[in-house]
């Protein structure tokens, strides 16, 4: 079983497919990676930096262009052949609400018509 399959079995909620840039800061370096999957608890970023598994990263996400970016901390939980799975840590309540709203408004938990 691949690492990604194991990770999906442990997820609390499903992820949605996304395509937006994320600014990542780690040990004084800054990267701009693309988000591929997203949930209110974590994100899959496209990158070849597999050595970052277990590292804490700072993430800046723009979920709504009319709002300031969300600045979050995440732990790299696993690597796949396409990128890194990051679990958000210690998310403040207002930011957790924004994450939940973003996911719900794009289909997860949304009533089917």
Domains defined along the chain, listed by start? 3-104 (2.40.10.220)
pLDDT digits 0-9 by tens, 16-74 = 899 999 999 999 999 999 999 999 999 999 999 999 999 999 999 998 888 899 999 99
The closest of 53, 108, 109 to 80, measured between CA atoms, is 53
pLDDT score recorded for residue 106: 82
Higher pLDDT, 112 or 25: 25
**What is the Rg, in whole angstroms, of the alpha carbon atoms belonging to the chain?**
14
Question: Rounded to an integer, what distance in angstroms lies between the CA atom of residue 104 and that of residue 29?
Answer: 32
pLDDT score recorded for residue 105: 87
E strand intervals along 2-113: 16-26, 29-38, 42-46, 56-61, 70-79, 83-89
pLDDT score recorded for residue 67: 87
pLDDT band at 10 (very low <50, low <70, confident <90, very high): low
């Amino acid at each position: 079983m691949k690492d990604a399959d194991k990770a999906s079995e442990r997820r609390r909620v499903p992820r949605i497919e996304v395509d937006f840039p994320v600014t990542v800061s780690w040990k004084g370096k800054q990267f701009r990676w693309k988000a591929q999957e997203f949930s209110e608890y974590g994100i899959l970023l496209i990158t070849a930096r597999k050595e970052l598994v277990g590292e804490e990263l700072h993430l800046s996400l723009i979920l709504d262009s009319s709002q300031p970016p969300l600045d979050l901390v995440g732990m790299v939980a696993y690597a796949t052949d396409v990128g890194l799975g990051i679990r958000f840590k210690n998310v403040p309540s207002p930011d957790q609400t924004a994450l939940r709203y973003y996911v719900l408004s794009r289909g997860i938990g949304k009533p089917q018509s």
